[in-house]
Amino acid sequence: MAIYTQEIPKVTGKDAEMFLAKMAHSEKRKQRALERKYLQDVAVCGVHVARELNNKADN
């Protein structure tokens, strides 16, 4: 097993802002995708089953 001694560089300034913006954007996209999938499940299975599927996905 290797031991890593290299320090992780501190990211500041524009790079950090861009990274945080990308993370926030991907979280929004993930949330929208989950909502879209939930609505598709409602259309196919009905509200009760879709809620169960959604709860399983969260756990």
Name the residue ranges covered by the structural domains of the chain. Answer: 32-58
pLDDT at 17 over 80: yes
Exposure class string for 20-49: b at 16+ Cβ within 10 A, else e: eeeeeeeeeeeeeeeeeebeebbeeeeeee
The mean per-residue pLDDT over the stretch 3-7 comes to: 65
Q: Tens digits of per-residue pLDDT, 23-52?
A: 888 888 888 888 888 888 888 877 777 778
In the prediction, which pLDDT does 30 show? 87
pLDDT at 59 over 60: no
Q: Is residue 19 helix, strand or coil?
A: helix
In the numeric block, which tokens belong to residue 56?
A: 């399983």
- Rounded Cα distance, 30 and 36, in Å: 10
Q: To the nearest 10°, the Cα dihedral for 25, 29, 34, 35?
A: 100
pTM beyond 0.75, yes or no: no
In the prediction, which pLDDT does 9 show? 65
